[in-house]
Structure 1
Amino acid sequence: MTLHRLAATIEARKGADPDSSWTAKLLAKGPEKCAEKFGEEAIEAIIEAVKGDRGRLTSEAADVLYHLLVMLAARDVTLADVEAELARRESRSGLAEKAARG
């Protein structure tokens, strides 16, 4: 799956020279900067969703997924961790899950 390959590539860049890759550069700036960049990309995706440009939204959504994985990696949260949480929630209805989280 593409997301798993991307997550593995991001993980491999964790110790890389920041001058060697954009991912390594982001990770070297720390979790806060990674979170900030994720937020910027999320806002850009929201703007494109409101505008209704399918192609631009698709592009921004890809950026959001990439930056989400970078942000997670910066805090040592893996894609497998997120998948496990989604699997745990699968057994509940969306409304019951929301109510349980308060």
Structure 2
Amino acid sequence: MTALERLSATIESRRGADPSSSWTAQLLAKGPEKCAEKFGEEAVEAIIEAVRGDRARLTAEAADVLYHLLVMLAARDVPLSDVLAELDRREGRSGVEEKAARGS
């Protein structure tokens, strides 16, 4: 099991837990919209650190982004396995080709 899979399982185990006992439970209790908002905030912080060029801070913010992405997915009942399957499906395919196939 990878670190992301372990983290995803931990997040899932906190679903329905007492919000006073877990930051993850607090986020999930606030609903998908709040989870998405928090993910966006963390993504912006990662962008700022990428522009600044501070590797240590970018690494820390990237970890926050991954955590909050998994929380957001859990809030919408999208399992990590579905995301990983989508990545597998795209593997070996040109990004230009993939984007054209999606029509975006």
TM-score over 0.5 for the pair: yes
Q: Which runs of 4+ in 1 moved over 3 A?
A: none
> 1:94: Cα distance to partner?
1.2
Match of 1:19 in 2: 20
SS at match of 1:58: helix
Runs of 5+ in structure 1 lacking a partner?
none
Q: Give the alignment of 1:56-95 within 5 angstroms.
A: 56-95=57-96
Query: What is the number of residues matched between the two proteins?
Result: 102
RMSD value over aligned CA atoms?
A: 0.7
What is the CA–CA distance in structure 2 between the aligned matches of 1:71 and 1:92, rounded to whole Å? 27
Identify the range of structure 1 (86-95 vs 52-61) with the bigger mean alpha-carbon deviation: 86-95
TM-score normalized with structure 1 length: 0.98
Identity of aligned residues (%): 81
What is the correspondence of 1:28-39 to structure 2 with a 5 Å cutoff?
Answer: 28-39=29-40
Match for 2:29: what amino acid? Answer: A
Task: Work out the CA distance in 1 between the residues paired with 2:16 and 2:82.
Answer: 21
Name whichever of 78-87 and 90-99 sits farther off.
Answer: 90-99
**Aligned-pair distance for 1:15?**
1.2
